[in-house]
Amino acid sequence: MIASTLLGIVRCDPAYEIKYVRESIKEKYGYDISYDKAWQSLKRAVEVVYGTWENSVTLLPKYMRALSKYNSGTVVELKHLRLVDGTHMYTKYKYKLLIAVTLDANNQILPLAFALVDEENYESWHWFLGNVARHVTRGCSGVCLISDRHAGITSAVQDLPDFKPRRGVHRFCLRHVCSNFNSKFKNIHLKDLCWEAGIQH
Span 174-197, mean pLDDT?
A: 90
Q: What is the pLDDT of residues 125-149, one digit of tens each?
A: 999 999 999 999 998 889 999 999 8
CB 144 within 8 A of CB 168: yes
* 121: confidence class by pLDDT, cuts 50, 70, 90: very high
pLDDT of residue 113: 92
* 166: confidence class by pLDDT, cuts 50, 70, 90: confident
Span 33-44, mean pLDDT?
A: 93
pTM above 0.75? no
CB 176 within 8 A of CB 198: no
Nearest to 170 by CA among 150, 151, 154: 154
- Angle at which helices 2-12 and 35-50 pack, to 10 degrees? 60
Could you tell me how far CA 65 lies from the centroid of its own chain? 21
CB 76 within 8 A of CB 67: yes
List the chain domain ranges: 2-51, 78-199
Q: What is the pLDDT of residues 46-103, one digit of tens each?
A: 999 998 878 887 888 898 889 889 988 888 887 765 554 333 444 455 678 899 999 8
CB 110 within 8 A of CB 102: yes
